Amino acid sequence: MRARFKRILPTVVDVAGRYGLGALFHTLRVQSTGREDLRKLEEAGTPVIFVFWHGQLLPLIHVHRHDGVTVLVSEHRDGELVTGLIHHFGFGTVRGSSTRGAVRGLKGLIRAARSGRSLAITPDGPQGPNRRLKLGALTAARMTGLPLLPIGVGVSSAWRARSWDGLLVPKPFSTVRVAYGRPSFVSRDASPEEVDGVAASLERELLDLSALVGDTPAPGHIEGSTGPVDGGRAQLVSEVSSASSPPFGDPRPL
């Protein structure tokens, strides 16, 4: 009986999540600022790499539903639930993370970018530290040539889960506030020092954008000092890039 329950539990959670979130999303209002750069890129037909903290994923599912975005989802157990849930709202997914399936995930992102889809990466996922940037998003930017576009999300009234990321769950009839930052690029021949500089700037902007829309996590929800988790080891970007796949636009299959 217990084994059968474990088998059907993901399906039950998936169905409940789809319809529960769908009902919740219908009650929400959205306010956004700083969309000018994103609008120009969209008009030019240029995909982007959306970058935001893991705990802000849920409100953004609503904001960018059916926008043709492919999300990097971890290969951990909870990734299965997330995958089924966001497919329902029009997102594509690629499985992989900084801790498991990194090269496979990177190849999947490159394929999605080549097909004209924007990408979404949470740089503190899949298991933290919370709001400490890892270099995976910069690796994807370097390999695809796409701009990194940071996002900050806040909610006028929300619950915050007791999870490592302090997941934001909007309350019914609340307002989701979204702040979009300026796009930045990572050159394919960038030095480790240049990559570290972009990473530090991106992390700072993510924190600033979140503060701008009122999402300041409770004390204890940010682990350690600021600065990229992989700071000082940006050579990893070069190593993964050279070992994994050809640059964006190369017609050879992955």
Q: In terms of Cα–Cα distance, which of 43, 40, 96 is closest to 72?
A: 96
Q: How confident is the model at residue 27 (pLDDT cuts 50, 70, 90)?
A: very high
Sign of the torsion formed by the C-alpha atoms of 18, 24, 30 and 34: negative
Task: Quickly list DSSP for 136-147.
Answer: HHHHHHHHH-PP
Which stretches within 176-228 are classed as H helix?
Answer: 192-212
Cis omega (within 30 of 0) on the bond before 129? yes
pLDDT of residue 96: 83
- More confidently predicted of 217 and 109: 109
Residue 234 CA to residue 35 CA, distance in Å, equals 30
Residue 137 CA to residue 39 CA, distance in Å, equals 21
pLDDT of residue 119: 98
pLDDT above 70: percentage of residues in the chain: 76
- Give the CA count within 13 Å in the CB-facing half-sphere of 131: 29
- More confidently predicted of 9 and 110: 110
Q: In terms of Cα–Cα distance, which of 192, 202, 182, 184 is closest to 241?
A: 192
Token representation of residue 17: 């999540």
Residue 164 CA to residue 220 CA, distance in Å, equals 10
pLDDT of residue 19: 87
- For residues 102 and 237, is the Cβ–Cβ distance under 8 A? no
Residue 67 lies in a domain: yes
Residue 250 lies in a domain: no
Residue 92 CA to residue 50 CA, distance in Å, equals 14
pLDDT of residue 220: 54
**pLDDT of 120 above 60:** yes
Residue 251 lies in a domain: no
Q: How far is CA 124 from the centre of its chain?
A: 9
Residue 200 lies in a domain: yes
pLDDT digits (tens, 9 = 90+) for 172-211: 999 999 999 999 999 999 999 999 999 999 999 999 999 9
Q: Is 201 exposed, middle or buried (0-12, 13-18, 19+ CB in 10 A)?
A: middle
pLDDT digits (tens, 9 = 90+) for 225-238: 456 665 444 444 44
pLDDT digits (tens, 9 = 90+) for 59-101: 999 999 999 999 999 887 677 778 888 999 999 999 987 556 6
Q: How confident is the model at residue 246 (pLDDT cuts 50, 70, 90)?
A: very low
**pLDDT of 6 above 90:** no
Residue type, 48: V
Residue 154 CA to residue 170 CA, distance in Å, equals 9
Structural domain containing residue 186: 2-244
Residue 249 lies in a domain: no
Residue 118 CA to residue 212 CA, distance in Å, equals 24
Q: Based on the structure, what is the number of domains in the chain?
A: 1
Residue 169 lies in a domain: yes
- More confidently predicted of 36 and 3: 36
Stated pTM of the model:
0.84
Residue 35 CA to residue 180 CA, distance in Å, equals 6
Residue 23 lies in a domain: yes
- Average pLDDT (14-40) is 92
Residue 19 CA to residue 211 CA, distance in Å, equals 31
- Average pLDDT (17-36) is 94
**pLDDT of 109 above 80:** yes
Residue 253 lies in a domain: no
pLDDT of residue 169: 95
